[in-house]
Chain A
Amino acid sequence: DQQVKQNSPSLSVQEGRISILNCDYTNSMFDYFLWYKKYPAEGPTFLISISSIKDKNEDGRFTVFLNKSAKHLSLHIVPSQPGDSAVYFCAPSYNFNKFYFGSGTKLNVKP
């Protein structure tokens, strides 16, 4: 039951450039979308979220874009920093449930 897909297992970006992480979903009921970041040997931590009534949410270097018609969201990190190297999970929800996570994208930001 793959309702959430992050099709790029890994991404490598040069420091200072933009990182774009993508997430696709199939369930049109999803109405809230969260991104989590996970460092090795640590649990995921919340990064940024967006409601389905918006198409963009920005927080510092992090921006999430939502395209409901395409059932696609993306996380942009500008400029990318080596400390951003981590695994990023997309986690959509509906009816406030917290059950769905993507498989994650491992971002490597090279100095």
Chain B
Amino acid sequence: EAGVTQSPTHLIKTRGQQATLRCSPISGHTSVYWYQQALGLGLQFLLWYDEGEERNRGNFPPRFSGRQFPNYSSELNVNALELEDSALYLCASSPDRGEYNSPLHFGNGTRLTVT
């Protein structure tokens, strides 16, 4: 079984630009979660998608957005990049629709660096 895959592995952008990060969940998983891990901090919840819809979002500004496609893959977009957006962005998938306490399966992340 292929795990959660994220691309690109590394991304370098300039302040003010836009970044697009991609995630493919484990086959059969319908829920996708995005987290940000800034240096020295824990995982901060960004967004949750299920069945193509945004189900919840964390305490982040609207320039963080995303979508989920019919094949359940997902995209995270960060507009008007700021230096503090530099972080590891982790995608996770879950086999349930937020109905059970099944653990998350994480990808290896995209390291975004904003200069």
Contacts and interface: CB of A to CB of B under 8 A. Distances in A.
Contacts of A101: 35, 42-45
A99 B42 contact: no
Given A1-B59, A43-B107, A102 B42 contact: yes
Interface residues of A, number: 25
Contacts of B42: 4, 6, 89, 101-104
Secondary structure dominating the interface of A:
loop
Interface string B81-115: 00000000010101010111101111111000000
A44 B90 contact: yes
B98 A97 contact: yes
Given A43-B4, A44-B90, A97-B56, A32 B106 contact: no
A45 interface: yes
Nearest to A34: B103
B100 A44 contact: no
Secondary structure dominating the interface of B:
loop
Size category of the B interface is 20 to 34
B100 to A, nearest CB: 6
B58 interface: yes
Contact of A98 (B4, B33, B107, B109): B33
25 contacts: A1-B59, A34-B101, A36-B103, A36-B104, A41-B108, A43-B4, A43-B92, A43-B106, A43-B107, A43-B109, A44-B43, A44-B104, A51-B101, A89-B43, A96-B101, A97-B56, A98-B45, A98-B48, A99-B48, A99-B56, A99-B58, A101-B35, A102-B42, A103-B41, A104-B42
Interface of B: 4, 33, 35, 41-45, 48, 56, 58-59, 90, 92, 94, 96, 98-101, 103-109
